C-alpha cells in the first residue's frame, strides 16, 4: 500500500497560474486541491467612476487570449443596464467574433496542450516532421489557429482586445472580399477539424464522474443568450442567475466558486453538448455522425472531444 503527498507549485499547459495538492493514503486519494493562484487585480474597484462606454475595453483586460469573451460579456452587461436590445446583425457579428475566439483557443488547447499527452510526448514541439501523421498534425494545428485569428480580426478588428465591438453595435463591418476569404479558410480547415475529432473520439483516457451540468441553451448552438439549462427540466432566466447560484468561498484558492441548490456543476464544452447537441447545425450533425451518440457523457475527458 502506498501513501504520499504530491504538490505541483506551477502547473503547465494551463492558461493562468495554478497549483495542485494531492494526498494519497493506502492507495486511496484522500485530498485534492486545485488552487488558482492568480493575485487579485481589483477590476471591480477599477471600474468605479469610469464612463460606461469605457468599461468593456477595461474589463477585457482581465485576460489576453480570451479577452474578446470578456469584452462581449461586458458589453452585454452594459446593454442590460441601459435597456438596449442589440440588432440581429449585431448579434451575428458577436457570434462570429466568439467563433473566432473559440476556434483559436480550442486549437491552442487541443493541439498544443493536450495532443502531446495522447502521443506520449512532452510538448507539441516534439512532433516529428518526418513522420506523415505528426507532420500533418503540426500543420493542422497552426492552420486551424490561424483561421480562428483571421475570422476574429476580420469581424472584430483584432484577435485579442478587439476594437470594433461596442455597446449597441460595431464600429466597423467586414468587407465582402474579407468575408469570402474567411469562408475559404474555414472550409479549408474543416478536414483538419474532423481528423482531430477522430483522434479525441478514440483517446485512451477515461474518468467517469457523475455531476450536474449547466449551459445557456437558446434556439441555436451558441453562447450569447438563452436560458440556463441545468439538465433538470429547469430554464433559469439568464439575467437572474444570481438568484439561483450561491457563491462559495474556497479557502485554498483565489478563484470564486458557485453552487446550484447546494451542489457543484460543470459548465463549458461538454456541458453544452450534453444539454444542447440537438441545436447543432445540420451540416455538423451529418459530419459528426455516431460521434454525437457519445453524448451526454460523464467521462470528463470528453470535454476535449466536445
- 211 and 266 Cβ atoms separated by less than 8 Å: yes
For 11, the domain range is 4-36
Whether residue 16 is predicted with pLDDT greater than 80 in this model: the reply is no
| Residues with Cβ within 8 Å of residue 166, at least 6 apart in sequence | 53, 56, 75
Binding site feature residues for Ni(2+): 63, 66
Whether residue 60 is predicted with pLDDT greater than 70 in this model: the reply is yes
C-alpha 195: how far from chain center: 20
| Judgement on whether residues 62 and 177 belong to the same structural domain of the protein | yes
| Judgement on whether residues 235 and 182 belong to the same structural domain of the protein | no
What's the mean pLDDT in 214-224? 87
Confidence class for position 169, pLDDT limits 50, 70, 90? very high
The residue among 173, 172, 166 whose CA lies nearest residue 72 is 166
| Judgement on whether residues 216 and 195 belong to the same structural domain of the protein | no
Least confident of 56-70, 94-108, 183-197: 56-70
- 71 and 62 Cβ atoms separated by less than 8 Å: no
| Judgement on whether residues 51 and 195 belong to the same structural domain of the protein | yes
| Residues with Cβ within 8 Å of residue 263, at least 6 apart in sequence | 212
Query: Within a domain: residue 206?
Result: no
Adjacent-strand bridge partners of 257: 248
Binding site feature residues: 63, 66
Confidence class for position 92, pLDDT limits 50, 70, 90? very high
**Residue 219 or residue 99, greater confidence:** 99
Query: Within a domain: residue 207?
Result: no
Instruction: Please tell me the predicted confidence (pLDDT) of residue 9.
Output: 85
Instruction: Please tell me the predicted confidence (pLDDT) of residue 201.
Output: 96
What's the mean pLDDT in 76-100? 95
Instruction: Please tell me the predicted confidence (pLDDT) of residue 177.
Output: 96
| Residues with Cβ within 8 Å of residue 120, at least 6 apart in sequence | none
pLDDT digits (tens, 9 = 90+) for 140-166: 999 999 999 999 999 999 999 999 999
| Judgement on whether residues 152 and 192 belong to the same structural domain of the protein | yes
Q: Is 24 exposed, middle or buried (0-12, 13-18, 19+ CB in 10 A)?
A: middle
Query: Within a domain: residue 128?
Result: yes
Whether residue 1 is predicted with pLDDT greater than 70 in this model: the reply is no
What's the mean pLDDT in 191-217? 94
Kindly report the CATH number assigned to the domain that includes residue 67.
1.10.645.10
Confidence class for position 296, pLDDT limits 50, 70, 90? very high
| Judgement on whether residues 197 and 51 belong to the same structural domain of the protein | yes
What's the mean pLDDT in 37-50? 83
Give how many domains the chain has, as a whole number. 3
| Judgement on whether residues 72 and 178 belong to the same structural domain of the protein | yes
| Judgement on whether residues 110 and 193 belong to the same structural domain of the protein | yes
Binding site feature residues for Fe cation: 66
Q: What percent of the chain has pLDDT over 90?
A: 66
| Judgement on whether residues 195 and 175 belong to the same structural domain of the protein | yes
The residue among 231, 201, 204, 195 whose CA lies nearest residue 215 is 231
Confidence class for position 37, pLDDT limits 50, 70, 90? confident
| Judgement on whether residues 150 and 12 belong to the same structural domain of the protein | no
Whether residue 274 is predicted with pLDDT greater than 90 in this model: the reply is yes
Instruction: Please tell me the predicted confidence (pLDDT) of residue 44.
Output: 84
Tell me the three cell numbers of residue 134. Answer: 505528426
Look up residue 114 and give its DSSP letter: I
| Judgement on whether residues 49 and 189 belong to the same structural domain of the protein | yes
pLDDT digits (tens, 9 = 90+) for 19-33: 889 999 998 999 898
Average pLDDT, the chain: 92
| Judgement on whether residues 13 and 56 belong to the same structural domain of the protein | no
Amino acid at each position: 500500500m502506498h501513501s504520499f503527498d504530491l504538490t505541483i507549485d506551477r502547473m503547465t499547459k494551463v492558461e493562468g497560474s495554478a497549483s495542485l495538492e494531492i494526498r494519497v493514503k493506502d492507495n486511496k486519494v484522500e485530498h485534492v486541491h486545485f488552487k488558482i493562484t492568480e493575485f487579485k487585480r481589483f477590476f471591480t474597484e477599477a471600474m468605479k467612476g469610469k464612463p460606461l462606454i469605457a468599461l468593456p475595453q477595461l474589463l477585457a483586460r482581465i485576460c489576453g487570449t480570451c479577452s474578446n469573451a470578456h469584452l462581449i460579456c461586458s458589453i452585454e452587461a452594459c446593454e442590460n443596464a441601459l435597456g438596449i436590445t442589440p440588432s440581429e446583425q449585431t448579434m451575428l457579428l458577436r457570434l462570429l467574433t466568439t467563433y473566432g475566439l473559440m476556434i483559436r483557443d480550442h486549437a491552442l488547447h487541443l493541439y498544443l496542450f493536450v495532443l502531446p499527452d495522447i502521443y506520449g510526448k512532452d510538448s507539441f514541439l516534439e512532433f516529428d516532421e518526418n513522420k506523415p501523421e505528426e507532420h500533418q498534425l503540426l500543420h493542422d494545428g497552426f492552420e486551424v489557429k490561424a483561421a480562428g485569428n483571421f475570422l476574429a480580426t476580420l469581424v472584430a478588428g483584432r484577435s485579442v482586445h478587439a476594437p470594433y465591438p461596442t455597446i449597441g453595435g460595431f464600429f466597423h463591418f467586414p468587407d465582402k472580399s474579407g468575408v469570402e476569404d474567411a469562408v475559404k479558410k474555414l472550409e479549408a480547415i474543416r478536414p483538419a477539424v474532423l481528423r482531430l475529432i477522430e483522434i479525441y473520439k478514440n483517446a485512451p483516457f477515461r474518468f467517469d464522474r457523475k455531476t450536474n451540468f449547466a449551459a445557456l441553451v437558446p434556439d441555436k448552438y451558441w453562447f450569447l443568450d438563452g436560458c440556463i439549462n441545468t439538465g433538470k427540466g429547469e430554464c433559469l432566466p439568464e439575467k437572474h442567475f444570481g438568484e439561483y447560484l450561491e457563491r462559495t468561498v474556497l479557502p485554498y484558492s483565489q478563484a470564486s466558486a458557485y453552487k446550484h441548490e447546494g451542489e457543484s456543476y460543470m459548465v463549458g464544452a461538454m456541458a453544452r453538448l450534453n444539454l444542447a447537441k440537438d441545436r447543432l447545425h445540420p451540416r455538423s450533425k451529418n459530419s459528426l455522425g455516431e460521434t454525437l451518440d457519445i453524448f451526454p457523457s460523464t467521462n470528463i475527458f470528453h470535454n476535449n472531444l466536445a
